[in-house]
Amino acid sequence: MDGRTSRGARTREALRRTAFRLFLAEGYEKVTVARIAAGAGVSHMTFFRHFPTKEDVVLRDEYDPMLEELIRARPVDHPPMERIRHAVTTALPAVYRQEREALYLRSRLILRTPALRARMGESAVSSCLAFERGLTPPGENPTPAVRVIAAACTAALTTAITLWVEEGGQSELPDLVEDAFDALLTAGGGTP
Mean pLDDT, residues 75-91 taken together: 94
Q: Is 26 exposed, middle or buried (0-12, 13-18, 19+ CB in 10 A)?
A: exposed
Nearest to 129 by CA among 61, 60, 53, 65: 65
The whole-number pLDDT of residue 88 equals 95
Better pLDDT: 73 or 190: 73
The whole-number pLDDT of residue 2 equals 47
The DSSP code for 142 is P
Q: Is 2 helix (H, G, I), strand (E, B) or coil?
A: coil
The whole-number pLDDT of residue 114 equals 86
Look up residue 137 and give its amino acid.
P
Report the C-alpha gap between 135 and 122 in whole angstroms. 20
Report the C-alpha gap between 177 and 141 in whole angstroms. 28
Mean pLDDT, residues 64-90 taken together: 94
Report the C-alpha gap between 84 and 70 in whole angstroms. 8
Decide: 154 and 111 in contact? Cβ < 8 Å.
no
Decide: 121 and 57 in contact? Cβ < 8 Å.
no
The whole-number pLDDT of residue 1 equals 44
Look up residue 88 and give its amino acid.
V
Q: What confidence tens digit (pLDDT) does each residue in 104-141 have?
A: 988 998 888 888 888 788 888 889 999 999 999 999 99
The whole-number pLDDT of residue 78 equals 95
The whole-number pLDDT of residue 3 equals 52
Mean pLDDT, residues 150-179 taken together: 95
pLDDT-derived band at 173, boundaries 50, 70, 90: very high
pTM over cut 0.85:
no
Q: 49 pLDDT exceeds 50?
A: yes
Which structural domains are found in the chain, ordered by start?
3-54 (1.10.10.60), 61-188 (1.10.357.10)
> If you count them, how many residues does the chain have?
192
